[in-house]
Amino acid sequence: MRRACYALMLASAITYAADSPTKSCAATGADIACTTQGAARGVIENGLLVFKGLPYAQPPVGNLRWRPPVMPAAWEGVRDGGGFGAICPQIIGKEVVGAEDCLTLNVWRPRELPAQRLPVMVFLTGGGNHGLSGVGTSNFGDVKYEGGALVPEGVVFVSFNIRLGVLGFLAHPALDAERPERVSGNYGNLDQIAMLQWLRQNIAAFGGDPQRITLFGTSAGGGNICALISSPLARGLFQAAVMQSSVPTGCEIPTLAEVQSRTGQRVVKAAGCDSAGDVAACLRGKNVTEIVSAVSAATDVLPRTYGPNMDGVVFPDQPIKIIARREHAAMPVIIGTTADETTGWVRSGGPITDQASYAAQIEKTFGAAARDRILAAYPLADYPTPQKAFIQLTTDAQFTCTSRRVARVFSAAQKEPVYRYLFSHTMENDPQLKAVSSNHTMEHAFLFPIAGKYKPLESDLAMQKLMVGYWSRFARASDPGNARDPLWPVAAGDNYLEISAKPKAGRGPDAAKCDFWDALPVQWPHL
């Protein structure tokens, strides 16, 4: 009961009141949008009207560092929406880049709006909750996270920044003590909720329908979506969800105590604040470079260094348990993975060339108790190379079969449709991209304009058209299939769609050996 009261207090602290008046606009015009903070002018790009760098919360600087987001201040006159805001602090290469004043969003809409409001698609980037926030680019052909491919299909597209890494997810008892809920961490998730509250108040000014908001996200972004579905603070703020290459890290999250004892203590010690009389003040006294580089994120093990925690307030319990108990916000869902999720990690993790190195890597990843059973289920004779065998079994264990498991839980817990996919298209016009096959998150590259060095083949453009069609139809009607494209069955009975040059519906897939993995208790390595 006490935690429930604190949840209400926290919700009221970041909620945009339903009757908040829209600030009157001093200027009018087809390129002007009136928000609750003031008027903004968009710019024409590639035939679309785009509004960039709009604040959805105050800059989380000074005493607002490691605090829930606060409603942005109003501005006078007409705000120029022609430039993106800063990305949130993160490590790119070996340097810390970005600025803490980064809680902004961007809106793409048609130049001419129809009479009826359009569905809204909001993209949550991947990057392990420590990088690639907001507008960034992906690793697949310099794909820009912009609305040029989706908006012509009759939607409004939104991208945004959240606090990342230590600034977005640090949990420590010293931060607990500052808040009435006695919790910490999840600041990046609270940013996501604040962004959705801003959209509820303002997206109609851009032609969007606040009652038809679809979240779609890749990797950590998809994992955050699964967590948000379970959060009482996000209930009613979005109506459909697409989780891409996102399992297993989103529907199951560590506890607050685990995060504090693991990453929280490491950060405080690395920052030199472990003996300070006021630990929170010491941490806030560090500059951005010092605090962001204190404990860099590990990206090749589970659990992740930074991400959501089960604090009893933002996330009351394990998301998957809340969903299984039918206590979540039921909604149409797409969940899926690529056919070769772990290729990049396996290729960078050292050579796997023979039976001995294959067995050693299985033991390192899954533990000695599971090694022989996995070797029997995935004999080298069944695969062209030991490395390919290890890619297959890790993709099955960590993604394909976990995706099936999560889809089963959703399907059993709600009447709203659940759709599942396996993406197997590859990018053939670049030797490096071809070598990683359908690697982790590659499917999201086909939802955005492909620009830069990669020259898409006709097969890539056809795949982009197919993906944009599926995703935009889902946003419009909660059903990605239609008569033009192969019909996408609901996931009941383990149905799924293989998204490839020739998409086909199926069951299973049997090649993933999911029954084996469901019966094998796996202890993931800890940091």
Whole-number pLDDT of residue 6: 46
Whole-number pLDDT of residue 291: 97
Instruction: Give the pLDDT band (50/70/90) at residue 137.
Output: very low
Q: What tokens were used for 70?
A: 């606060």
Whole-number pLDDT of residue 113: 94
Spatial distance between the Cα atoms of 222 and 404, rounded to a whole number of angstroms? 15
Report yes or no: 471 and 150 within 8 Å, Cβ to Cβ. Answer: yes
Does residue 527 register a pLDDT over 60? no
Does residue 225 register a pLDDT over 50? yes
Spatial distance between the Cα atoms of 152 and 468, rounded to a whole number of angstroms? 10
Q: What is the dihedral of CA 132, 137, 139, 142, to 10 degrees?
A: -170
Cα distances (angstroms) measured from residue 248 to each of 245, 394, 406: 9, 12, 9
Q: What is the pLDDT of residues 283-297, one digit of tens each?
A: 999 999 999 999 988
Whole-number pLDDT of residue 423: 96
Q: What is the pLDDT of residues 382-393, one digit of tens each?
A: 999 999 999 999
Spatial distance between the Cα atoms of 527 and 74, rounded to a whole number of angstroms? 43
Does residue 37 register a pLDDT over 90? yes
- Kindly list the catalytic residues: 219, 341, 440
Q: What is the DSSP string of 409-445?
A: HHHHH-SS-EEEEEE-----SSHHHHHT-S-TTGGGG
Per CATH, the homologous superfamily of domain 2-334 is: Alpha/Beta hydrolase fold, catalytic domain (3.40.50.1820)
Q: What is the percent of the chain where pLDDT is above 70?
A: 90
Does residue 451 register a pLDDT over 80? no
pLDDT mean over 401-420: 95
Does residue 2 register a pLDDT over 60? no
Instruction: Give the pLDDT band (50/70/90) at residue 493.
Output: confident
Helix (H) or strand (E) holding 92: strand 90-92
Does residue 526 register a pLDDT over 80? no
Q: Would the pTM of this model clear 0.85, i.e. be above it?
A: yes
What letter represents residue 287's amino acid? N
Report yes or no: 159 and 106 within 8 Å, Cβ to Cβ. Answer: yes
Is the model more confident about 434 or about 482?
A: 434
Nearest CA-CA partner of 184 in 265, 257, 272: 257
Instruction: Give the pLDDT band (50/70/90) at residue 14.
Output: low
Q: What tokens were used for 429?
A: 């016009």
User: Beta 104-110 vs 48-55: how paired, if at all?
Assistant: antiparallel
pLDDT mean over 36-64: 97
Whole-number pLDDT of residue 18: 41
Report yes or no: 247 and 221 within 8 Å, Cβ to Cβ. Answer: no
Q: What is the DSSP letter of 180?
A: T
Spatial distance between the Cα atoms of 89 and 100, rounded to a whole number of angstroms? 6
Whole-number pLDDT of residue 305: 86
Cα distances (angstroms) measured from residue 497 to each of 63, 170, 241, 336, 490: 49, 38, 17, 9, 9
Is the model more confident about 11 or about 480?
A: 480
Question: Quick one: angle between helices 187-202 and 2-14, nearest 10?
Answer: 50
Does residue 19 register a pLDDT over 70? no
Report yes or no: 461 and 469 within 8 Å, Cβ to Cβ. Answer: no
Is the model more confident about 527 or about 303?
A: 303
pLDDT mean over 22-51: 88
Q: What is the mean pLDDT of the chain?
A: 89
Does residue 248 register a pLDDT over 70? no
Radius of gyration over alpha carbons of the chain, in Å? Answer: 23
Whole-number pLDDT of residue 482: 76
What are the residue boundaries of the structural domains of the chain, listed by start? 2-334
Whole-number pLDDT of residue 453: 80
Burial environment of residue 257 by CB neighbours within 10 A (0 to 12, 13 to 18, 19 or more): middle
Q: What tokens were used for 310?
A: 């089960």
Contacting residues for 19 by C-beta, under 8 A, at least 6 apart: none
Is the bond leading into 509 cis (omega within 30 degrees of zero)?
Answer: yes
Whole-number pLDDT of residue 484: 73
Report yes or no: 403 and 335 within 8 Å, Cβ to Cβ. Answer: yes
